[in-house]
Structure 1
Amino acid sequence: MNEELIIALPKGRILKEALPVLARAGIIPEASFSDDDSRALKFATNLPGVALIRVRAFDVATFVAFGAAQLGIAGNDVLMEFGFTEIYAPVDLGIGRCRLSVAEPADMAATDDPRRWSHVRVATKYPNITRAHFGARGVQAECIKLNGAMELAPLLGLSPRIVDLVSTGRTLVENGLVEVETVAEVSSRLIVNRAAFKTNPAVVPWIERFRAAAQA
């Protein structure tokens, strides 16, 4: 296990919400971390032996699961999708709140009844969660994997429904879609590599520091 403590952070909206939590936990990134033009991915902090990496949200869990990072911040949507047994998620940080929802065109939803579904075709970034959600009530889900621009799928006839993260719902409305089911409530968690938790004595105190930072 690398002696340097690496904390993996997701790019984008959650990163902005995570920075105050990091500060309350006593971690201040180097100045270049806030440089939008920087192409660097690894950053020093005010604490010797503690570094940050900035990666795609779905990749945070992979870096932590395989021990390249000992700690990370990831949404429980990512944890549900991948189901890594190597990851322990001890703290709900209360940031990045949104929901994973089923959505479809508004005119379709006007006469649709989800209780009658037996087979659905869905475009989603979350095929595992989607199949499990529908399978739990006996509905067969045919999933088309997309990594973005989900709202285009119904507009272009690729799929009549989508399963995607929803925060304000504005993007759905602007593309003529409405939510018809909530699959899961989502928030970001502190995640820990299980092997590091057992073997690296520096990890456990950080769990308590992040828990206190989340409650502050």
Structure 2
Amino acid sequence: MTQLTIAMPKGRIFEEAYEMLLEAGFNLPEEVEMSRKLMIEIPEENISFILAKPMDVPVYVEHGVADIGIAGKDVLLEQRRTVHELLDLKISECYIASAGLPNTTINEIAPRIATKYPNIAMKYYKGIGEQVEIIELNGSIELAPMIGLADRIVDIVSTGRTLKENGLVEYEHIAEVSSRLIANPVSYRMKSDRIQDLVTRLKKCVK
């Protein structure tokens, strides 16, 4: 059986995707001891998992250290890596939206947008004909409008609770997000039978 290396984000996405693999009939342990392990070998299926930060998964897949991976659509839109998108797994569903303080209009002269998704934000505002200044932040994006750093933020929204708790409201729905199965182009060609089998089996488990 061809060896398959799968890059997966740690945490909830790993748990949900692992459940899908079990449901798809892969011979995997019912439970995996995560602890601090960064690699998990499953000799019975000739599969190894690389556990990574969500932003790093497409990097590993593009460079071929992982044959396939599971990455959020937000990461794929932001990074635009050379990978094949094979399947929408419909897990960890959320969306990207713009938000700001209620009843405020966007500044007409170089409005400032705070985000950890500079490429997505720039593309969106360019598409609607707005020239904006992007301020890249990595954490607590909600603070930006509250302290006057930005007119709007562009971020992932799951339940909207964080926005509400910080007195912010949604303005524009930018993109739907869910976890996708991606493949390295060379692996997809060289290991096509193995990868296609995995896709076919997982497809039946997508809800």
Give the TM-score normalised by the residue count of structure 2: 0.89
Please give the per-residue CA displacement for 1:78-130, whole angstroms capped at 9, x wherever unaligned. Answer: 1111111x211121111111010001012xxx142x6x856321111110111
CA contact 2:26–2:45 (8 Å) conserved in 1: no
In the alignment, which residue of structure 2 is the partner of 1:70?
Answer: 67
- The equivalent residue for 1:214 is 206
Moved more, 3-12 or 26-35: 26-35
* Cα distance in 1 between the residues matched to 2:28 and 2:108: 49
1:189 maps to 180
Separation in 2 of the partners of 1:100 and 1:118?
A: 24
CA separation in 2, counterparts of 1:122 and 1:7?
A: 35
Which residue does the alignment assign to 1:99? 95
Kept after mapping to 2: 8 A contact 1:17/1:95: yes
Specify the code of the residue in structure 1 equivalent to 2:8: L
Offset of residue 55 of structure 1: 0.8
After superposition, the Cα gap between the structure-2 partners of 1:149 and 1:111, relative to the gap in structure 1 and judged at 3 Å, is closer
Alignment partner of 1:18 is 2:36: no
Structure 1 runs (4+) deviating above 6 angstroms are none
Q: Deviations over 1:16-62 (max 9, x none)?
A: 32232121233465578344xx2111012363320111111111111
Unmatched runs of 5 consecutive residues or more in structure 2: none
1:134: which partner in 2? 125
Question: Structure 2 vs 1, CA of residues 123 and 33 (structure 1 numbering), >3 Å: closer, same or farther?
Answer: farther
2:109, 2:100 → 1: CA distance?
16
Assess if the C-alpha contact under 8 Å between 1:190 and 1:210 holds in 2: no
Q: What is the TM-score with the length of structure 1 in the denominator?
A: 0.86
Q: Aligned residues: percent identity?
A: 41
For 1:118 and 1:159, the matched residues in 2 are separated by 12
Matching residue's letter, 1:21: M
1:5/1:51 contact within 8 Å kept: yes
Q: RMSD over aligned Cα, in angstroms?
A: 2.1
Whole-angstrom distance in 1 between the partners of 2:41 and 2:28: 6
Within 5 A, what are the aligned runs for 1:54-203?
A: 54-84=51-81, 86-106=82-102, 110-112=103-105, 119-201=110-192, 202-203=194-195
